[in-house]
A = this chain, B = another copy of it.
């Protein structure tokens, strides 16, 4: 019960022919060396992927005195009992970073946030992807002290001249979502806002406020404690929003489970979604396709972010110049029934489309 192996690793020449470049350019693109335009590099990587080219090994990195290991860690929640791998955003981010690292011949070491300072300073690795560093993040300081190449997923809270990061374009994302709600007829759009000291909720809050100011719409914000458990605290915050007079006609949540929390709060107050209230949240959770009603979500594209952050880290490790060190990924809106205004039938009975 065996099977013959017909597939052969494609040569650099095959990749070069596919991408329409020289083999030296292919080699530069795969190794992150030389001076190439982003467009050329992306074209070569795409050709290599299509042909199934995988680097033979991390031998090259090792020959340079490297380890062939990229580290990835999430310290956002510190020692809190948050299993971030169960959050769809982090799961997708980690898996796509893994695939991207393997494609370039690197191992990906995923590290718990609770390692000792000794371990952060001494574990052999060529560079680290730091997922959503907090303000005054101790791991950040340790890694800087070590002088190891570091790229953050999410903008650092405290900007520094040599930052290298990949983030979603939150400005563009909030504009997509708010414009969509306004087109669906919302005029009093509220934000259910978590308090946490990574950059993400702060950027969302700013984008929301500037959109409201631009459009001359009221900014309706209720804040809640994100830790240790935002289920109850967010439901209470949404309850306070729904008790306002006049009431908001739409609520946006910014965490993965916010849609569930807002639906629960609306049910508790006897408010119908979407007839009396539009609901949307920023989440990668596929469950929103089957909630009652299905909830409109904004995807931050963790798959793209994971691939870009690995690409940038390898460029930084190889001290490649002329590389964009601050990269934005474009988010995508997934409109569902929770933001569709009920259409009125001729006889005046409200109905809703699926």
Contacts and interface: CB of A to CB of B under 8 A. Distances in A.
A72 to B, nearest CB: 10
Given A7-B228, A197-B3, A62 B118 contact: yes
Contact of A59 (B81, B118, B225): B118
B99 A57 contact: no
Given A56-B116, A109-B69, A3 B227 contact: yes
Copies of this polypeptide in the complex: 2
A191 to B, nearest CB: 14
A132 to B, nearest CB: 15
A13 interface: no
B7 A80 contact: yes
Interface string A30-56: 000000000000000000010110111
A302 to B, nearest CB: 13
A184 interface: no
A5 B227 contact: yes
A185 to B, nearest CB: 29
Q: 9 tightest CB-CB pairs across the interface, nearest first?
A: A52-B81, A57-B116, A102-B112, A109-B109, A107-B111, A85-B99, A54-B114, A59-B116, A108-B110
16 contacts: A1-B196, A2-B195, A3-B227, A7-B227, A7-B228, A49-B81, A56-B114, A58-B116, A59-B118, A86-B99, A95-B95, A98-B110, A102-B112, A107-B110, A107-B112, A110-B110
